[in-house]
Amino acid sequence: DGGITQSPKYLFRKEGQNVTLSCEQNLNHDAMYWYRQDPGQGLRLIYYSQIVNDFQKGDIAEGYSVSREKKESFPLTVTSAQKNPTAFYLCASSIGGQHQETQYFGPGTRLLVL
Amino acid sequence: GENVEQHPSTLSVQEGDSAVIKCTYSDSASNYFPWYKQELGKRPQLIIDIRSNVGEKKDQRIAVTLNKTAKHFSLHITETQPEDSAVYFCASGNTPLVFGKGTRLSVIA
């Protein structure tokens, strides 16, 4: 999991502002994921990508957008349409392919609303 | 789609006792069942996983059992220590994984 980095560690968002969370991996993994974690809650899937230039919505995609222009990078944008964005955001990656493999998580970004 | 239920949501044990966390899943096609440990403010880290072609796997004080017929799998931690205190998540499915809501384990010294 040391091969996945997220930045920044903390991010502050003002009302009506879009912010972008960075996720980079050097594990040569095809699949990447974004999860949202609220206090005392589990991991809820926002978006995932199994290959470059392709991604799918997860359970809570509304108010978020992603891109996958490079294999190593999967940035998440929290748009102004997301009315309650305060949470801990975790990026993960896995080898990908037909069968599920271990997902490795980044250190997370904590997003706070001013 | 897959649905994963995890119990209990909180668990307190005395140091040295055993802890058991159970998960059930709904998709009979699921073939991979990992367990993650998350310490406060940190990332989830894989502690053990099992695939559908085996019924049990052990790694020192940690073991996982799988019952494919009943669609449930369990995490067993023996001789618990204070550093085992954390939130534990089970997961199941193909791509993507579906996570349980977590179990907060407290080991009391």
The distance of A41 to chain B (nearest Cα, Å) reads 6
User: For residue A73, what is the DSSP state?
Assistant: B
Asked if A35 contacts A97 with a C-beta cutoff of 8 angstroms, the reply is no
H or E stretch at B64: strand B62-67
How sure is the predictor about A38, in pLDDT bands with cuts at 50, 70 and 90? very high
Mean pLDDT of chain A: 92
Nearest CA in chain B to A55: B96
State the CB neighbour count (10 A cutoff) for residue A77.
Answer: 14
State the CB neighbour count (10 A cutoff) for residue B91.
Answer: 27
Sign of CA dihedral B41, B44, B45, B49: positive
CB contact under 8 A, A99 and B34: no
Interface of B with A (CB under 8 A): 31-32, 34, 42-46, 49, 89, 91, 93-102
pLDDT of A69-94, one tens digit each? 999 999 999 998 888 999 999 999 99
How sure is the predictor about A101, in pLDDT bands with cuts at 50, 70 and 90? confident
For tokens 């970004």, the residue is A109
Residues 47-106 of A with CB under 8 A from B: 48, 50, 58, 90, 94, 96, 99-106
Q: Which residues of B touch A59 (CB under 8 A)?
A: none
Looking at the predicted structure, is the pLDDT value of residue B4 above 90? yes
How sure is the predictor about A2, in pLDDT bands with cuts at 50, 70 and 90? low
Tell me, yes or no, if A33 comes closer than 8 A to chain B by beta carbon. Answer: yes
d(CA B88, CA B100): 9
User: For residue A96, what are the contacts with CB-CB under 8 A and spacing of at least 6?
Assistant: A29, A30, A31, A50, A51, B95
d(CA A60, CA B81): 36
* CA max distance for chain B: 41
CB contact under 8 A, B96 and A48: yes
pLDDT of B89-103, one tens digit each? 999 987 789 999 999
How sure is the predictor about B85, in pLDDT bands with cuts at 50, 70 and 90? very high
Asked if A63 contacts A82 with a C-beta cutoff of 8 angstroms, the reply is yes
